[in-house]
Structure 1
Amino acid sequence: MKRTYSFLIPILMSASFASNAVTCVSKSKITSVLIPNNGRTEIRIKTQAISLGQSAYNNGRIQMWEGGSYERWKQKRDLLLMAYSLNKPITMDSNDDNCMGNDDEFHIVVGSK
């Protein structure tokens, strides 16, 4: 039984993120990137379109800053910059409803998947 439970925990954790996730942007290209000089590690992006479930407040804007790990933040920032420079679409999910927060809140996929 112990083996079964330890195997199920990662599956349940990933499923819980997926069920609570809100799609900030789905298969849309990044149109602008801003890395403000405001004393914290942050990136702001604007995309062509937003998910139908999002309010007009977001208007395709996503704001992400450093969470628990600088390395993880840097990987996600670099992924967004790569998608922008190669003109590739992204899909970005957030575990809350406002599409802004630390990088731990976001799941990013680059490409048309």
Structure 2
Amino acid sequence: MKSIVANRNNQGPATSPGMLKRTSLEADRELAHIRKVVTAVRATSVPLPINVRYWRARLHELRIAYALLPVQVARLSALELDVENIAQEQVDVGTSDDRRVA
């Protein structure tokens, strides 16, 4: 997957060889935002906004483009699992009652 996230100095993708990764502080903001989305989806039983592929890509970008601390890696792994579980539930609901789930 080709990265489209530029690094802080606008010198190209953050995943290019020799490029510095984004900071763990920036990762905290991203993790907090995604956690809010996942929590809201779980609380309201509505589908993920946008599509699951987008959230998977965003989580993957966090894993490769940010200098994560061990606790952040654990949070990221938990979010990845949550997104996969939500995606599976959306597929199950969509196939079991013939409603289309975005």
Q: TM-score, normalised by structure 1?
A: 0.27
From the two aligned structures, give the one with the greater strand fraction: 1
From the two aligned structures, give the one with the greater helix fraction: 2
Q: TM-score, normalised by structure 2?
A: 0.29
